[in-house]
Amino acid sequence: MAAFGQLYLQGGVWAGEQLVPAEWVAAATSRQVDSGPHDWPEWQQGYGFQFWRSRHGAYRADGAFGQYIVVWPEKDLVVAITSGLANLQSVHDVLWGALLPDDVWDTPVSQHAPQEAGPLELELATPSGKATSPSAPDGVVLDLTANDLGVRSLTLGRSDDGGTELVLTGADSEHRVRFGHGEWTQGVLALGDEPSDVAAAAAWTDESTWRGRVLFLGTPFEWRVVLRFGGEAVRVAVDRNVAFGERRLLHTTGTVRPA
């Protein structure tokens, strides 16, 4: 993504070769039609050919739920962003809040760099809490009431690596997801026509509440799973962080029995 933005920042030139006509780059990234009115200012700046205009003389390639390549020719800058958000303007507000102050550009780059040399590491936070709970000390089966997804039961148990394994059982299918504790555990979830690479983590946020996150790698999508236990009853909620349609995947109740 960043390389694509750099190509356009350089007027379509890469390694001394004109890969994209400069005239096309100029036309595609210019305001060809109006795009307002809109509640978000970043969407009021006009639209080119597959590129949106942004504030402060910038332009961007714009993908669903917060995938951006922001090009700011005035500052010779490209910013590539991946995210999974419903409030798309919030990303730009943070970006401009960080880049607009004059002292950001008047201060030598070395003063913005980390004091110790080495690569920067960014990680998504895993759910915070304990690895086990008295609510499910040796694993439990959750027999669910009828639901639109056809999930008959969930089995919650311990995995060999100290995390949790959640098994979704339907009428003629079974799907397993392994959740790390304090770390992301990668795996494959085959729910549709194509298997999805996922990373998952979970924790007991209190003795009666288990929370898990399933990240679909290479996409903006995430499942948020919450199991709330109360004696022999359980409430189940599975929601998507963003979606073109309904974000609620599964909201139902069930009964608890030993695994």
Of residues 113 and 166, more confidence is placed in 166
Quick check: 207 and 133 in contact, CB under 8 A? yes
Query: Tell me, what CATH number does 189's domain have?
Result: 2.40.128.20
Number of Cβ within 10 Å of residue 127's Cβ equals 20
Number of Cβ within 10 Å of residue 115's Cβ equals 4
Last residue of a domain, one of 70, 90, 111: 111
> Do 75 and 167 belong together in one domain?
no
Is the pLDDT reported for residue 30 higher than 70?
yes
Query: Tell me, what CATH number does 38's domain have?
Result: 3.40.710.10
Examine residue 117 and state whether it is found in any structural domain, yes or no.
Answer: no
**Mean per-residue pLDDT for 232-250?**
95
Examine residue 74 and state whether it is found in any structural domain, yes or no.
Answer: yes
Examine residue 145 and state whether it is found in any structural domain, yes or no.
Answer: yes
Q: Name the band, by pLDDT with cuts 50, 70 and 90, for residue 186.
A: very high
How confident is the model over 76-113, as pLDDT tens digits? 999 999 999 999 999 999 999 998 887 766 766 556 55
pTM of this structure? 0.85
Q: Using CA atoms, how far apart are residues 252 and 235, in angstroms rounded to an integer?
A: 6
> Do 247 and 148 belong together in one domain?
yes
3-state DSSP helix/strand/coil % of the chain, to nearest 5: 15, 40, 45
